[in-house]
Structures are given as structure tokens and as C-alpha cells.
Amino acid sequence: MTEATTVATKGALHGFRVLDLSRVVSGPMAAVVLADQGADVIKVEAPGWGDGIRYLGASRNGLSAIFSMINRNKRSLAVNLKHPQGAALIRILVQSADVVLQNYRPGKIEKLGLGYADLAAINPNLVYCSINGMGEVGPYAEQKVYDYVIQGLTGATDAQAERGAPPAMVRSIIYDKVTALMAGQSITAALLARERGAGGQHVRVSMLDVGLYFNWPDLMWNYSFLGPNVEYAGDLADNYAVNQTADGAIVSHHLGADTSPYTTAQLLEILSHNDIPVGRANKRDEVCDDPQVLANGMLEISDHPRGGAMRLPKPPARFSKTPYSQRHQSPEIGQHTVEILSEIGLSFEDMQALAREGVIA
């Protein structure tokens, strides 16, 4: 099988190795973008407990839905990074890695000897991506950050408020997820630059910076022009509304009329016939059966060894020559420890000794 054939059957990023040292959402979701596109992603977790996102939200048999999606197509290596021998194992793996991804607070991973300078000295061609909450300098840099903090700082909570009402949260971890997508794209761009001769580099992505970038085109357009003679405008979303129907709701432009006597189907037909953008306001339990969702074939059902039958989305980018395939489900903690350490030459006796010391599991 030629290299081109292998890439075509195994994904656009087949042949690239990623060490995912990140946790929770922003890092793991960035890494799953790469994994879904064929990269060999090694998820490094603490022995025993693993990534805390394993225990969040809806679950079955101890498997959480969110963990399953953002950690599929990865191999799990259980290593205690706080143990000197654990950090040493990562430094050995870095020799053959293309990417390291981490989302520790600034300065934390450097104390483990796994910062960019430490690892670039071992592998100058390494693309090292650091995700953090606020940036690496400034009054908030060392603060622990979750999505809701970024919602507040970037004005998103203000934008959700009705006029004169108090701020309100977006009911989704939107900035965790958009930071993940930005990081995944930035890593791929750095790999492309490396292929063109730029060598390895440090890519820094902060949730605050991504939140500002994401909000600016519409939520912040009144703050773009400096000086006089600015024609200010309301929010773009002010043009749209949820309109109640006799049997549900639709989303469209403000119609300026009582829509409640009409059924959803009637309004969809009338408005679409007149080329007015309109859609059904699906309840969450209706989304999977929407006819357009079904036509797109975006959702797939597969069996997880622990969680059983699951319905999860495929990656939204569709490649004509390097299509997506699910190679394996999200792993158990340390499921691939022996396999991965064997690849760097450790014997089973070596691994037993490390396990006795609490270095691996």
C-alpha cells in the first residue's frame, strides 16, 4: 500500500503523532479533531482517576457521553507526570512526536520539566500547543478559569440579556469548544508551516483571546470604530425571533404578527415559499429526527464496550479524498499503556517495575 493510499484510507493526518497532556474540554476536544482526521493521539492521564471529564454529565456504566465524544480515536497512556520517571517517559515519547498539547495554567507544566523549552530541546521540530484561560501575563493569568468566566469577561452574558435585564449565561460551554476548534486549526497550520521548512514552534491559545475574536464581528461591532461619526447599530440577533405556533415554535425574522394560530408546518411552508429564512425551533429530543439532520447523515450509532449503543456526531468537515472513519471508541484509563511503552522499547519487566513505583498503570 502506497503512502498516498494509506492517507486516503486512514485520514488526512495519518502518520502524525500527538501527545495530548490536556484535560477537561478545551484541550481534549482540540485533540479529537486531529484524531478524527487520522492522527495517532496518545491521551496521557493520571493513573487511577484519569481525566476528570470522565465523570461529568450523562453516563452509563461509568462512561460519560461528553468524554466518549471528545476522546474517541485516541489511545490512553496512564502516567504520573509528577513522578520524575513519569515525566522522563514523556520526554522519550517526545522524540517521535509531532505535537504536544497541554492546557495547564501558565507555569505549572514547566515545573514538571515538560514546558516548550524543555521538549523543543529534545525535538526541535515539535509543534507545542499551550491552551490557557487568560493568557500568560496580566492580573488574571494565574486564575483558574472555566467557560462561564470567559462568557462574563467577553461581554457574552451582557449580549444574552434582554434590554434592561440583568446579564444571562449562554447555556453551553461555548468558549471551551470554540477554543478547542481554534487550537486544532492552529496546530494543523503549524504542521503545514513545518512541512514548508519553518521547523517546530510554540503555539499559544487563550480562551479569553479566542472569546474576543469570536465575539467581535457582531457582538462588538459598536466598539470597532474609534472617533466620531459612527452609525451605531443594535445586535444582529435583534433582527431574529422565536415565534410561537399552534403546535411548537419557529425561528425567523421578526414577523410583526401573531403566529400562534398557525401550525409549524404551515408557517414553514409559507415563509420558505417567500424565501424568508425559517426553521423549526426543535426541542433537544427532536433534533436527531429532524429530516435534514437525517438527510445529512451526520449522526452515527456505534457500540461502546462500556457504554453500549451510542449516537454521536461525525466530524462536520467532509473530505473527498481522506474521509473520516471511527477507528476505535474512547479508551479506558491506561488501556494502551503497555502497547505504547512497548513501542519505545520498554520490556514488560520494566513496566512492572514502573507500576510498582506508581509511575504507570
Name the CA radius of gyration of the chain, rounded.
24
Question: Stretch 163-183: mean pLDDT, rounded?
Answer: 95
Q: Is 105 helix (H, G, I), strand (E, B) or coil?
A: coil
**Res. 238 pLDDT band, cuts 50 70 90:** confident
**Res. 3 pLDDT band, cuts 50 70 90:** low
Question: Catalytic residues, which ones?
Answer: 176
Predicted pLDDT at 333: 97
Express each pLDDT in 78-107 by its tens digit: 999 999 999 999 999 999 999 999 999 999
* DSSP state, residue 308: E
Q: Which percentage of the chain shows pLDDT scores above 90? A: 92
Please state, in angstroms and rounded to a whole number, the distance separating the CA atoms of residues 97 and 128.
10
Q: Provide the angle, in degrees to the nearest 10, between the axes of the packed helices 174-195 and 26-36.
A: 50
Express each pLDDT in 268-300 by its tens digit: 999 999 999 999 999 999 999 999 999 999 999
Express each pLDDT in 5-25 by its tens digit: 566 678 999 999 999 999 999
Predicted pLDDT at 6: 63
Backbone torsion region of residue 143, taken as left when φ is above 0, otherwise alpha when ψ lies between -120 and 50, otherwise beta: beta
What is the pLDDT of the chain when averaged over all its residues?
A: 95
Express each pLDDT in 309-356 by its tens digit: 999 999 999 999 999 988 999 999 999 999 999 999 999 999 999 999
Question: Stretch 52-58: mean pLDDT, rounded?
Answer: 97
Predicted pLDDT at 5: 57
Q: Which percentage of the chain shows pLDDT scores above 70? A: 98
The number of angstroms, rounded, from the C-alpha of 22 to the middle of its chain's C-alpha atoms is 11
Predicted pLDDT at 2: 62
Please state, in angstroms and rounded to a whole number, the distance separating the CA atoms of residues 266 and 325.
39
